[in-house]
Amino acid sequence: MLDDATSIVLETNPRNRRAVNKYYKFDSKGELEFAKRLEADENVLLYTKLKKGGFVIDTPYGEYSPDWAVIYKNKDDKAKLYFVVETKIDKDDRDLSKMEATKIKCGELHFRCVADDVRFKQAKNYDDFLQKIGVG
């Protein structure tokens, strides 16, 4: 991991073959910790950090780019696509601004319309993500 004044970079383990990319750049230590947990979790089959503007959902507050795509193997060994996980590190739902809450709601509605088997989850940290997908 490299850390400087402007960014935090994680080099993934190619032997795990869980990450799409070799390197990921983050704006916060919270996102780095989330990525490290994805990297270490044997039930994560594949993950990637989505590039800002690379995947966009239109909202009343403008374009919204979620954070993560994760394929997770659940308790019955079936892979589930949590296509987008929005990380609001250590923020409870009640702590979100109206704009953040509306963008997340638009993300939920978008994925509900796209496919029945794609899930959108907002998580304040990795343990919260696991709890919201029913394994934590």
Beta-strand runs (E) in the chain: 2-3, 8-11, 23-26, 44-49, 57-59, 62-64, 68-73, 79-87, 118-123
pLDDT of res. 122: 83
Q: How confident is the model at residue 3 (pLDDT cuts 50, 70, 90)?
A: very low
What are 7-57's pLDDT values in tens digits?
789 999 988 889 999 999 988 888 899 999 999 999 999 999 988 878 888
Residue 1 reports pLDDT greater than 70 = no
pLDDT of res. 6: 60
Cβ pair 72, 45 in contact under 8 A: yes
pLDDT of res. 87: 75
Q: Sign of the CA dihedral 47, 51, 54, 60?
A: positive
Radius of gyration from C-alpha coordinates of the chain = 15
Residue 109 reports pLDDT greater than 70 = yes
Q: Kindly list the structural domains of the chain, giving each domain's residue range(s) and its CATH number in brackets, ordered by start.
A: 2-132 (3.40.1350.10)
What are 71-101's pLDDT values in tens digits?
999 878 888 877 667 777 767 778 888 988 8
Residue 114 reports pLDDT greater than 60 = yes
Q: How confident is the model at residue 107 (pLDDT cuts 50, 70, 90)?
A: confident
Measured over all CA atoms, what is the biggest interatomic distance in the chain, rounded to whole angstroms?
A: 43
